[in-house]
Amino acid sequence: MPWIRYLSGHADSIRCLARTTNAWQIGLALTFLASIARNYDQTWIGEAPLKWIAGNILFSLVSGTFLFFCFHQFRPRDEVQPRPRLGSAWLQFMGLFWATAPIAWLYAIPVERFADSLTAARFNIALLGIVALWRVVLIARVASVLHSVRFVATFAGVLAASCVEIFVTFVSGGEFSRHILAGMGGLLNSPEERVVLVALNRTVSAAAIGFLPAVVIGLGARNWRVPKVGAEIVPAAAVLPWKWIGILAGVWIAIAIPAQRQVRLNADLDALVVSKRWRDALDQMAAHARGEYAPARQLPPKPYTYEAYEVVPPLLAAVTTNDPPWIQEHLLNRWNNLWIATGSAPSTNGLHQRVDIERDSELGTMFARMETSAWTPSIDGLGRFDSGRRWISNNIALLDAMRMLLAMSEPKGTTNAPSDTAVFRQLEERLARYPRP
C-alpha cells in the first residue's frame, strides 16, 4: 500500500499521498502513535498527560511548518503549475511530513531491558542518528519528486533547515549548558551523559560547519530540473487506512500498558522522594522487586547530580537492617556515586590508601556538597547492613580525612560550618568504632 512504500521514498506513492485530500489526518494519527513509542517505557502518562500525548505533535507541528515555509519560499520559479493556496499547500506538506512518523517507532526498541545503561545510551544515540538521517533523506526525496527538482538541491535545503533547528534546540534547551556548568563546579557527568554530550557536541559542530555550504548548494541548485523520461504516472489518491490505524493503535496500547504500570511505580517513588518522605519511599521499594520498576528509568536519586547530595544521606539514615538487600545495595551504589562524581574513588574491595587532605581537593568538593549534619546519619545507615560496614572499613582513611577536613573548617555563618559542635563529636565517635589499617 502507498503508506508503507512511501517510507522508502517510492515516487508514485509520494504523489499518491500528496493527492489524498485528508492525508494529514492519517499523518497526525501516526504521529500520535509515535508519542506512545517515545514515552511508553520512560514516562507515566499521569505525570504530564498533555506533554505525553501532544508533545510530539506540537514539536512536529513547529518543525514541519518551518520546513514548509523554507520550501514554499525557495521552490523553483519556473514551474508550469501555479502555486496552490498557502493553507492547502501547508496541509498537503504536513500530511507528508507527519507520514514519516513510523520511522520514529524505532525509539520503542526497549534497549535498557537487554543492555547495561552505558551500552543502552550508545544504542539510543545510534537509533537517533538513523531516524534523523532517514527522515531528512525522505523529506528531501518528497520535495524532489513533487517539485521535479534534483535531489541534491532539496537534500541541501533540508540539511540547512535542520541545522537551524539544531541551533535553536541547543540554545533554548539548556541541557548542554547544565552539564558544562556541572563540570565547572567540580561535579563529573555520568558515563551515559558523557556519551550524549559527545554526540551533541559533534552534531552542533557539524551543523555549524555544514549550514552555509548547504544553503549555497540548495539555492544554487534549486532550478536544476529533473529531465522527464516518458509519461509521468500519477496513481489515484490513496484510500485512508483507518482500519489499519485502529489495529496499530490497539497494538501500541497493548505494548504500553505493562510498561506504564512499571513506570507508574517509578513516578510514585519519585513523588515520595520529592516530598521528602524518606521512609515511605523505602517502604514502597521494599514492597516490590527491583524488576517491577521500569528499566529505562533510573531509581532515585539520579546519580551525578547536585540533588543526590541532598537525597542520599536521608535515605541512608532511614534504611533498616530489614530492608531487602537490593535496596541496601542501591543506596550504597548511590553513596559511591557521590564520591566518584567529585573525582574521588572510594575502594570497593580493599583498604583505601591514606589520604593527604592538603592535596586532595576532591574531598573539599565533597564536603561542600553535603550538609555537615548529614554525615553522621549517613555513617549510621551504612553501619546497618553488611556491605555498608565493609565500605566503611575499606574507606576508613578516606572518612578520617573527611572528618579532619570538617574539624579544620572555619565557621562561616552557614549550616555547613561545624566548629566544635556535637555533630562533629558524633561523627568522630562513629568512625572510632572501625579499626584503622
Predicted confidence (pLDDT) per residue in 313-348, tens digit:
999 999 999 999 999 999 999 998 888 877 777 776
Among 233, 228, 235, 231, which Cα is nearest to 17's? 235
Grid coordinates given for 402: 573527611
Residue bearing the bigger pLDDT, 81 or 197: 197
Q: Give the model's pLDDT for residue 196.
A: 66
Q: Is the pLDDT of residue 259 over 50?
A: yes
Least confident span in 4-8, 222-226, 286-290, 350-354 = 222-226
Most confident of 76-85, 102-111, 154-163, 415-424: 102-111
pLDDT at 431 over 50: yes
C-alpha cell at 271: 513523588
Average pLDDT of every residue of the chain? 79
* pLDDT above 60 for 49: yes
Q: Which three cell numbers stand for residue 346?
A: 572510594
Q: Report, as an integer, the average pLDDT of 231-241.
A: 53
The residue that leads in pLDDT, 403 or 319, is 319
Q: What is the mean pLDDT of residues 292-298?
A: 91
Cα 129–117–103 angle (5° rounding)?
30
Bigger pLDDT: 77 or 164? Answer: 164
Look at residues 247, 196, 249, 243 and name the one whose alpha carbon lies nearest to residue 35. Answer: 249
Predicted confidence (pLDDT) at residue 188 exceeds the cutoff of 80? no
pLDDT value of residue 92 = 87
Nearest-angstrom CA–CA distance, 358 and 101: 57
Please say whether the beta carbons of 137 and 9 come within 8 A. Answer: yes
Asked whether the predicted pLDDT for residue 398 surpasses 50, the reply is yes
Higher-scoring residue by pLDDT: 357, 276? 276
Rounded to the nearest 5 degrees, what angle is found at the Cα of 10, between the Cα atoms of 7 and 12? Answer: 125
pTM score: 0.79
Residue-level pLDDT at 326? 96
**How many residues are present in the chain?**
437
Asked if residue 245 has pLDDT above 70, the reply is yes
Q: Is the pLDDT of residue 235 over 50?
A: no
CB 330 within 8 A of CB 267: no
Cβ atoms of 98 and 60 within 8 Å: the answer is: yes
Q: Give me the percent of the chain exceeding a pLDDT of 90.
A: 27
> Which three cell numbers, joined as nine digits, stand for 205?
559542530
The pLDDT-based confidence of 97 (bands split at 50, 70, 90) is very high
pLDDT digits (tens, 9 = 90+) for 345-368: 777 666 665 555 555 556 666 766
Q: What is the pLDDT of residue 171?
A: 64
Average pLDDT rounded to a whole number, residues 15-41: 88
pLDDT of 103 reads 93
User: Looking at residue 175, what is its pLDDT?
Assistant: 53
Does residue 19 have a pLDDT over 80? yes
User: What confidence score (pLDDT) does residue 413 get?
Assistant: 43
Inter-residue contact 313 to 370 (CB < 8 Å): yes
| Predicted local distance difference test score (pLDDT) of residue 358 | 53
Whether residue 418 is preceded by a cis peptide bond, meaning omega within 30 degrees of 0, is: no
Report percent pLDDT > 70 for the chain. Answer: 74
Rounded Cα distance between 54 and 45, Å, is 11
> 437 falls in which pLDDT band (50, 70, 90)?
low
Tell whether the model's pLDDT for residue 74 goes beyond 90.
no
Higher per-residue confidence, 399 vs 266: 266
Is the model's pLDDT at 260 over the cut of 70? yes
* Cα(159)–Cα(205) distance, integer angstroms: 14
Map grid coordinates 576508613 to a residue: 396
Q: Residue 186 pLDDT more than 70?
A: no
By the 8 A CB rule, do 332 and 382 touch?
A: yes
Task: Say yes or no to pLDDT of 185 above 50.
Answer: no
Determine the pLDDT at residue 354: 57
